[in-house]
Amino acid sequence: MKFLSKNIKINIVLVIGLALIFTGILLLTGYFAINPQSIFLFRGVILFILGAVLLFIELMTPTKTWLMFISVVLMLISVIFVMSDVGFLPFGIKNLWPSFIIIFGLSLILFSFYKNKQMKAVYLIPALTIIFFGVFFMLFSMKVIKANFVSLASKLWPLLLVLCGGILITIYFMQHHNLLKIVQDKTTIKEDDE
């Protein structure tokens, strides 16, 4: 019971620390912003508060590790909303939406470390694929690639099938390798016991 009480206090300290950091960022951006009275500023604040609440719930009930993933995604997206809404970023959300996809992929990597205490291929490969697509869409969104995305996608969509198949095959071989390693370790232990 003493451990649980101490753990709750530590988690409350984490949530308060996150709230203070975000409040400080919000006040600084409001001070230096081009348009500090932006009504849209509240959407970022609401997303951050929701993410902090979900993080607190996850830390109180560690069996729901998916809440950690959602809370990190919400808090990082809220920072992009605030930075865009106050004018720190020269682009609007219309151009920055692929960054949400990149955040989703990065959060999946963090989630894998949090849940498994190591990186697993089941999380790493989809996360890297999501990040790749986010960067790819960002190139179109920021007009680095001047081609029309719809016409390019209509011609190259079979590459998506190839990519998905390659991802599944890579996951299969990585899991197969890990399974063989576990079987070899068990047979080595049995031989040592005899």
Tens of pLDDT, residues 121-149: 777 888 888 898 899 888 888 888 887 77
- Indicate whether 171 belongs to any domain: no
Comparing 167 with 62, which gets the higher pLDDT?
167
What pLDDT sits at residue 126? 84
d(C-alpha 46, C-alpha 119), whole Å = 31
pLDDT band for 13, please (50, 70, 90 cuts): confident
Q: Residue 32 domain-assigned?
A: yes
**Residue 148 maps to a domain:** yes
Number of domains in the chain: 1
Helix and strand totals (H; E) in the chain? 7, 0
Distance CA 11, CA 72 (A): 15
Name the band, by pLDDT with cuts 50, 70 and 90, for residue 2: very low
In-domain check, residue 185: no
Indicate if the pLDDT at residue 180 is higher than 80.
no
Which is more confidently placed, 93 or 191? 93
Most confident listed range (39-43, 88-92, 186-190)? 88-92
Q: Is residue 88 part of a domain?
A: yes
Asked whether 109 and 102 are in contact (CB, 8 A), the reply is: no
- The answer as to whether 164 is a domain residue is no
Which residues, 6+ apart, have CB-to-CB distance to 68 below 8 Å?
Answer: 55, 58, 111, 114, 115
Structural domain of residue 51, as residue ranges? 2-157
**Position 117 in a domain:** yes
Identify the pLDDT of residue 3.
43
pLDDT confidence of residue 1: 42
Question: What mean pLDDT comes out for the span 148-170?
Answer: 78
Give me the chain's average pLDDT, please.
76
